[in-house]
Structures are given as structure tokens and as C-alpha cells.
Amino acid sequence: MALTDFDLVLFGGSGDLSMRKLLPAMYARDVANDLPQTARIICVGRNDISQEEFLQTVESTAKPHVKKLVEEGWAKFVKRIVYVSLNATDAATYPALVEALRNDDKITRVYYLATPPHLFAQICDNLAGAGLATANSRVVLEKPLGRDLESAKQINFEVGKVFAESQIYRIDHYLGKETVQNLLALRFGNILFEPLWRREWISDVQITIAEKIGVGNRMGYYDTSGALRDMLQNHLLQLLCIVAMEPPTSIAPDAVRDAKLQVLRSLKRFTPTTLAQNIVRGQYRAGHVDGKAVPSYRDEPEAPQQSRTETFVAIKAEIDTWRWAGVPFYLRTGKRMADGLAEIVVRFKQIPHSIFNQPTSSFQPNSLVIRLQPDEGLSLNLMAKTPGDSMRLKQAELELDFREQFKTPRMEAYERLLLDVLRGQLTLFMRGDELEAAWEWVEPILDHWDQEDSVPIPYSAGTWGPAAASALIGRDGLQWREEALPED
């Protein structure tokens, strides 16, 4: 669908997200000829600098993050950028933005709030006060969307006073990944899996987002957030929803979001006993990643020496529905892990009886692995006969590599999501009640940690996290995928 003319306003326009992700994403769509000729990108920042000085910053900071750079295309793209200096919290400075925007009701206005969430309400109020929150405008809210249920509700309430729900785009960049959308296609575009996508045939589901990197320059944010808020409450729960949701009536935004909301409301609530049994919280200590020595979390620059912030969390979740009752969902995320990957593993149940001269225990259960990164694809693990005159079975893979299968250029997550905002397509964005339902499930975990004054379990950098995470899944007679892989 062709885009209509727009002004995209980036609050936090000189910040890290704008420079590393948003501007490179818009450049990629520009050279792909997706953007209207007169569309503009208005970068808002506090620095009192000239247009030329800001473009120099774009040249030195954003340009290095561009993939497949074409100088001619870059020069054309940069002409779209306008810099506006204002204080986002000071309504008296907003006339500068009014002057920069085109006064034309046919132009879509998108306000992207790449700012700390405590500024969301004030920015929206100031936009309304300046007459800029119109019917043809949209607002994008970048995470974190609150620290707990109360703050999430407050954000929804304050932003909702200015913008209708249909104008609010709560972004989760994981939903922009091609593989996540292919999961929808896999489930609802093929008859093969639907009869098996239930408790009678599935043993367990594992969802992992592991990072080799540490905190980097995000210590100020991360130490007040931790892995639960930063990754699990949003990214992992969104992936869980897509895996577990009932077939929606259509791909329309509210049909999909209604189905995801039902999953969140069906998640079994934790009790004091299950909180202690089903959650592992860890923090990395010194170790080696890719053969290089790395410091502990508490020895990272600006880290509090007695920090109790978790850099790893593993959770056993359950969904109380007819389809999923009794099937454990294991969610895991961490920093300074043995490998950097994001994947969903759907493991099917073991065969009930072996007719071969091998015990049933020697068979690897069938599994479907959906890889989100570093390479995107699917693999279906089956048992197959090995070559030779004996009937011996060994695990084999049916592999689908999206890059090999589809030769067309691929969009990065932010490219897809920004296009959807500009088109007015809400399917891949969270609705307000969805956000609150996620926090309702997560908040008892945070409360439990506070009340128990708990300390994260240390784990060595370059490993797969605390041994307690293996024990968590081991109690059910299962293993994390990397532990269960057969040796060559």
C-alpha cells in the first residue's frame, strides 16, 4: 500500500535510538522508493544548534549504521531531515515545531517519542496545547512502557487523554522481525500444524533471547530495570502470545490483539510457592565470551557495587486453557550468555513405543525451531534412518533458511514497523489493555523479589546462566535445547 505524504517527528531526534535505528531505517525505505517525494523527518532535540550542525551529527553518528549505503541515495535522504530545537517539557518552545510542520490536513503527522517514558504525558499535553494533536496524527511510544502496572496504567491514561487508542502505537521491535510474522504464516497459513498445536501432542515450548553482550552504555537505565522489565515483560511475552493464541478471525489489528490478550489473561498466576519454584534470577560475574575476558556486572562502568539487578531470568509459565493446560512454557533471557540468539522451540511428545532395535529413550522428540536471530529460519527435527544395512535411526533436520528461500531484500524490524505506523496499520503494536495484562502477570514477581529482598544467583559470563535454570526445567524431565542437542 502506497504511503501518503507525512511529517515524521522524532522526539529524542539526536538520541541513540534515532541515530542507530530510526534514521537508518527511514533511509532504507527511501532508497527502496517507499517514501513520498515531499515526506519529511523532523528531528527534535534540546541542543541549540543549527540545521547544518545537526546534519554533521547525522553524518558522523547515523550514517555508519546504514547498511548498503549509496552516497547518492544518502544525499537525497538527508534533504528530508529538518532539525528543531525545543525543550519537550516546556510548552513555550513548541511554536518552533508548529512553524516547522506543514499546515495541511492531508499530511499525516507521526510523533515518535524516543524519550524516557516519564516524558510521554507532558509531550502529549504540549502537543495538544499547541494544536498539533489532530485527527490525522499518530503517536509512537517506545519502551519501556512503565516500570509496573500502576505506571503502565498512568501512561495509558495520560496519553489517552490526548490521543485515541486507534492513534497510539506501542512499539515492540521484536514484532517487526520477519520470522515473527512468518510464525503467523506458519500457524494460520498451513493446515499441517494446527491439529498438532495443542496439549495432546506438544511436550513443552521454550522461548530464549540470549545476548553475548553486557550492559554497554545503558547502565543508567538497565540497573533500574533488569532483565524482567527490559526483555521478558515485553519481547518474550509477545512471542509467547503469538505461539499460544487461538486462530484470530482475520489479520485485522483488533482480531489479532484480542487473541493475544486472551493468552495474557489465561496465564496462570503465581502463588508464593510457585514464585519460589518456577523463577530463576541471575547476575553475571566475570568470565570469558568468545575467548575474551569480560568483567562482572558489578565491575561494569558506573555499576553500583552492591547491585541486585538481574541480568538473567528464567520462568516456567503455564496457560490455563483447553488447548494448553499442562504444557509448560519456559521463558529465558540473559546477558553475557554463551551465544547470541533468539529462538522458539516447540517440542513434541516422545513416540509411545519403538518398533526398532533401539529403546524409545534413544529417540529425540520431534521439534520445530523458529530462529529469530542471528539467522532467520525454521527447522523441523525428525528421526531418519542412517545410511547402511542396519535400521538405525538418527535425528535429521528439514531446514528452511529465509534468506536462501526468498531472494528479495529483507526489511529490518524498525523499517517494517515504521512503515506500518505511516500506513496506519496497528496489527504489530500492543493495545493498552494488552500492555496492562502483561504487567498484571509480571508484577507479583517484582513484588516477591522486593519482599524477599532476594539476591540474584551469580553465573559466569560465557555460560548459559545459573545451574538453577537447568534444574528448573530438569524437574520436569526436560532440558534446554542446547543441553539436549545430540553430540556429533
118 catalytically annotated: no
- How many angstroms separate the CA atoms of 398 and 249, rounded? 30
State the Cα–Cα distance between residues 405 and 294, nearest whole angstrom. Answer: 38
One-letter amino acid for residue 418 of the chain: L
The structure's pTM equals 0.93
Cα 51 versus chain centre, distance? 33
Q: Residue 464: is it exposed, middle or buried by C-beta count within 10 angstroms (0-12/13-18/19+)?
A: buried
- DSSP letters of 194-231? GGGSSTTTEEEEEEEEE-S---TT-HHHHTTTHHIIII
Give the SS3 label for residue 241.
Answer: helix
pLDDT at residue 394, as a whole number: 87
Q: Is 302 helix (H, G, I), strand (E, B) or coil?
A: coil
- In whole angstroms, give the CA distance from residue 67 to residue 48: 30
- What is the distance between the alpha carbons of residues 458 and 296, in angstroms, rounded to a whole number? 9
CB atoms within 10 A of CB 20: 15
At 462 the pLDDT is: 96
**335 annotated to a ligand binding site:** yes
- Determine whether the annotation assigns residue 67 to a binding site: no
65 in a labelled binding site:
no
Q: How far is CA 112 from the centre of its chain?
A: 17
Tell me which of 65, 235, 288, 448 is the catalytic residue: 235
Say how far apart CA 203 and CA 224 lie, in whole Å: 36
Give the chain's length.
488
Assigned C-alpha cell, 24: 537508518
Question: In the prediction, which pLDDT does 105 show?
Answer: 83
pLDDT of 486 = 60
Q: Is residue 76 annotated as involved in ligand binding?
A: no
Q: Could you give the residue ranges of the DSSP H alpha helices within 395-431?
A: 402-405, 413-423
Q: CA 57, CA 223: separation in Å to the nearest integer?
A: 29
**Cβ(284)–Cβ(333) under 8 Å?**
no
Amino acid 420: pLDDT? 96
211 labeled part of a ligand binding site: yes
Q: What is the pLDDT along the chain (488 residues), one digit of tens a residue?
A: 678 999 999 999 999 999 999 999 999 999 999 999 999 999 999 999 999 999 999 999 999 999 889 999 999 999 999 999 999 999 999 999 999 999 888 899 999 999 999 999 999 999 999 999 999 999 999 988 999 999 999 999 999 999 999 999 999 998 998 888 888 988 999 999 999 999 999 999 999 999 999 998 889 889 999 999 999 999 999 999 999 999 999 999 999 999 999 999 999 999 989 998 999 999 999 999 999 999 999 999 999 999 999 999 999 999 999 999 999 999 999 999 999 999 999 999 998 898 888 888 888 899 999 998 888 888 999 988 888 888 888 888 899 887 777 767 778 899 999 999 999 999 999 999 999 999 999 999 999 998 877 899 999 999 999 999 999 999 999 999 887 766 55
* 218-250 exposure pattern, b = at least 16 Cβ within 10 A, e = fewer: ebeebbebbbbbbbbbbbbbbbbbbbbbeebee
